């Protein structure tokens, strides 16, 4: 593993970060469970470093009922108060409130599109989006479109930068560096027809 070339942003001194990069980041997710988990974690990440969230991930899992969207959507004030006292997570009232209201919207998307993944992947017709010519980018045409639609539906903490970061993590966008070993591994799992360049 140590000899493999990774994306330049990966801190190779940190095993948790390497592991996340090697096994999760950029790998296309097609199941609602892991997809919603990342979506919720991205909301809490806003303004903080991703490693901070990764370190707290298991505390989040315990605090948020294993990332069960139906349970989260039903949280009341009593649960909010207990979350605000949980030192293991990010104790932000506005983020906790947004997580609860967003969970309700995720449930309505699931009803409308069959699944949360069905909604998210509909923006690229189920295809992985990439653009090797842009290099690093904080947003993409895809994240602009999705963010606008989510905000229209009332989603909070759903700006284009946050959504682009989420899409990269969820593998709807493949933005591993072209010389990262995961770039090629992911491309090998995809057919030419399941990639679009945008």
Residue 128, judged by CB atoms within 10 A of its CB (0-12, 13-18, 19+), counts as buried
- Residue 42 a catalytic site member: yes
Residues of this chain, 124-183, that bind Zn ion according to CB under 5 A: 176, 180, 182
Identify the residue among 7, 18, 190, 196 touching Zn ion (CB under 5 A). Answer: 7
CB nearer Zn ion, residue 150 or residue 171: 171
How many chain residues are in contact with Zn ion, going by CB under 5 A?
Answer: 4
Structure tokens at 118: 């069905």
* Catalytic annotation, pick one of 17, 36, 42, 121: 42
Active site residue 197: no
Q: What is the DSSP string of 157-182?
A: S--HHHHHHHHHHHTSB--S-TTSHH
Examine the residue annotation and report whether 25 is marked as an active-site residue of this protein. no
CB closer to Zn ion out of 101 and 134? 134
Return the active site residues.
20, 42, 50
> Which residues contact Zn ion (rule: CB under 5 A)?
7, 176, 180, 182
């Amino acid at each position: 593993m140590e000899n493999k070339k990774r994306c330049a942003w990966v801190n190779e001194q940190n095993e948790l970060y390497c592991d996340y990069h090697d096994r999760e980041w950029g790998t296309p997710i097609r199941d609602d469970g892991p997809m919603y988990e990342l979506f919720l974690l991205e909301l809490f990440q806003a303004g903080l470093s991703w490693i901070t969230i990764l370190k707290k991930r298991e505390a989040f899992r315990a605090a948020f009922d294993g990332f069960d969207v139906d349970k989260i959507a039903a949280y009341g004030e009593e649960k909010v108060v207990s979350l605000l006292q949980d030192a293991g997570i990010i104790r932000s009232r506005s983020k906790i409130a947004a997580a609860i209201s967003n969970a309700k919207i995720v449930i309505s998307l699931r009803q409308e599109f069959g699944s949360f993944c069905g909604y998210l992947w509909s923006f690229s017709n189920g295809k992985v989006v990439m653009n090797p010519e842009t290099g690093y980018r904080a947003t993409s045409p895809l994240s602009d479109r999705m963010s606008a639609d989510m905000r229209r539906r009332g989603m909070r903490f759903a700006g284009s930068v946050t959504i682009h970061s989420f899409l990269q993590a969820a593998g709807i966008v493949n933005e591993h560096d072209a010389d990262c070993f995961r770039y090629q591994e992911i491309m090998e799992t995809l057919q030419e027809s399941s990639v679009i360049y945008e």
